[in-house]
Amino acid sequence: MGISIGTYLPPWGTERARVPGYDEDALTMAVEAGRLAIGEEVGITRVVFVSRELPLLEGGNSAPLLAGLRLGRDVEVVERIGGAPATLDALTSAAPGTLVIGVDAGSAAGAAAALVAGSNPTSQVARVQRSMPQRTRLANGQPGFNDDDPRMLREIGVRASIEAAGLPGKPLAVAGLGARDAASWSAPDAPALPTVGASSVLFAIAALTEAGRSGLVAASEQAALSAANVDVSTGAVRRHERPVQPPVKRRQTPGTGVRVSLAAYDRAFEAKVRWQAGKCTKCGTLAMPPRYHCLGCGVDDSWEYTPLPYTGTVYTTTTVHVPVPSLESPYTLAVVECDGVDVRVLMHVTDMPPGTVKIGGHGRLVLRRVAMRSGVPDYGYAFSPDMPDKDKRGGAQ
Amino acid sequence: MKRVAIVGAGMTSFGEHFSLGIKDLVPMALSEAIASVDKGFERRDIGAAWMGEVGATDGHAAGILADSCGLLDIPVTRIENACATGQDIIRQAIYAIASGYVDVAIALGADKVRDTSSSATFWDWMALTRDMAWDFPLGLVAPANFALPVSRYLHEAPATREHLAMIAVKNHFHGVKNPKAQLRSEITVEQALNAPMVAEPFGL
């Protein structure tokens, strides 16, 4: 009950800032964080996906998001463009059964999700909408204005908004600012945050929950500010934050692009993005992808979807080093045996430098953007090798 | 069933052949095969022909064979069976002769993969050979397709990468003797083992 929080950081970048892998975008990161927040909870009726890097403006992020989160196709999805204040507003106004996900998929990347189950333990204290467009991004997604003057932002942006908000005291954390500014506006011992955008305020609440500190939390973006009281006493946090490693140098080879067949995309979607095999209703034989004719008992057209396990073992693997038009080399492929079932699937290996997995290695199966095809993100599952125990942090599932 | 013999063979050299289309290469190979037959052979004695092609260049393969070689009044059939296409056309010709349906048959395989730019050829080829939703976007290039089972084989069997290198050495050895081979140079096991990696465990 209360708030269940999941956090995800891509394994690439530096200690200061993570960056998404070549196969990650805001949607795959939202799924990583969202799954951790959901855990075993059921009854989720609404998902609010807050980011300034939504993969598509038209064409639909909602269906692959729900499929990756393993939620029903009838769940309402709100795609909200915004930063830290937008995420905090979504959280304070969330009815029970709402999953709020904030994602930053540019520089300083990360995702965090909060599931409100039972009564909402956050309450809005202040909201100030002022205009301070020091940095703009245009409707086509391209950068517009960028006036990098931190002092101007601090004085007529953040300071003026905090004063206008009339906060009852210094917040325990101010999300959305760089580390130095955040520290100067916060009460002592404010948590260090890995991001400054939509996910940052949920990272702040996650850290306060772990520290058992209830109180005022603020979220800032340019001159917009929201603040809320957060009762963390009933909260829980699950993190998936692998140790950081430098991004792998990959060579992008020019090409004509990977084209999409929408009919094939549609036929594969339920199996590929919801990670379900076809199960023969007569003999139980699994097929991935599903088959018309059962190879186990020979019956025709008699199968139903059944969930596949999200863990597996490498049956065989190879790393492609040569340039491949429209792809980035090197990359590692693996045929993965799903744990406990007689199903093998070909997939990319992710989250580790190419060529580092071995036959017999164990790992998780995670939603990734397998390819960009004619402007369509193609989502599917990839193999994420388990970390050695000493490097583990939090409860990855 | 009648017994069947291969009585003639011909081929073009292997290469990019930018200046030659498939309608040039196919008749070149067939004319050489006819000329190679001991004590002579008439083209009109051909009773049926099979054309093996994995891709498609300049039109339907069976029609290209019939038109470019003047085989207009006999059954002509195109076969595609991935990398086993060449063997499969020979099998079809054997069936036809052994069953008594014809006395002489032609099995001719050709592919012209360099008529589009290399950046486009790859995905055109992949679209022919991979499942559009499941394998196509993953970049399962042909070397990787074979590297996956071979990696597993090396894992299960006592064979090693040195054994793979010995196969490459043997293939190069035979290539030297063939004036139409693409690569006509001998290599050593050490060279094969140290070659730049294409798709592990296969080097260049």
Smallest Cβ–Cβ distance between A318 and the set B131, B135, B151 belongs to: B151
| End-to-end CA separation in angstroms for chain B | 45
Q: Where are the alpha helices (DSSP H) in A144-237?
A: 150-152, 160-165, 179-185, 200-211
Map residue B95 onto helix, strand or coil: helix
- To 10 degrees, what angle do helices A26-38 and A62-69 make? 40
Map residue A387 onto helix, strand or coil: coil
Residue A204: pLDDT band by 50, 70, 90 thresholds? Answer: very high
Q: Mind telling me how many Å the CA of A154 is from chain B's nearest CA?
A: 46
ipTM value, please give it: 0.89
Work out whether strand A46-51 and strand A98-104 pair parallel, antiparallel, or are unpaired.
Answer: parallel
Compute the CA torsion angle B183, B189, B195, B199 (nearest 10 deg). Answer: 90
Smallest Cβ–Cβ distance between B133 and the set A268, A322, A335 belongs to: A268
Cβ atoms of A383 and A362 closer than 8 Å: no
Q: Please state, in angstroms and rounded to a whole number, the distance separating the CA atoms of residues A174 and A226.
A: 10
Tokens, residue A88: 């905090």
Cβ atoms of A109 and A19 closer than 8 Å: yes
DSSP conformational letter for A90: H
Number of H helices, E strands in chain A: 8, 24
| Cα torsion angle, A223, A228, A232, A236, sign | negative
Work out whether strand A303-307 and strand A2-9 pair parallel, antiparallel, or are unpaired.
Answer: unpaired
Q: Please state, in angstroms and rounded to a whole number, the distance separating the CA atoms of residues B112 and A76.
A: 52
Q: State the pLDDT at residue A391.
A: 58
Q: Please state, in angstroms and rounded to a whole number, the distance separating the CA atoms of residues A266 and A279.
A: 19
Q: What domains lie within chain B, and their CATH numbers?
A: 1-128 (3.40.47.10), 130-203 (no CATH)
Domain boundaries, chain A: 3-241, 310-397
Record: contact A322-B119, CB cut-off 8 A: no
Residue B93: pLDDT band by 50, 70, 90 thresholds? Answer: very high
Q: Mind telling me how many Å the CA of A291 is from chain B's nearest CA?
A: 14
Q: Please state, in angstroms and rounded to a whole number, the distance separating the CA atoms of residues A239 and A393.
A: 7
pLDDT digits (tens, 9 = 90+) for A251-290: 988 887 788 889 999 999 999 999 999 999 999 999 999 9
Interface of A with B (CB under 8 A): 253-259, 261, 264-265, 267-268, 272, 289, 315-322, 324-327, 331, 333, 335, 346-348, 355, 359, 370-371, 373, 378, 380
At the fourth CATH level, which superfamily is domain A3-241?
A: Thiolase/Chalcone synthase (3.40.47.10)
pLDDT digits (tens, 9 = 90+) for A290-324: 999 999 999 999 999 999 999 999 999 999 999 88
Q: Which fold has domain A310-397?
A: OB fold (Dihydrolipoamide Acetyltransferase, E2P) (2.40.50)
pLDDT digits (tens, 9 = 90+) for A136-175: 999 888 889 988 788 888 888 889 999 999 999 999 999 9
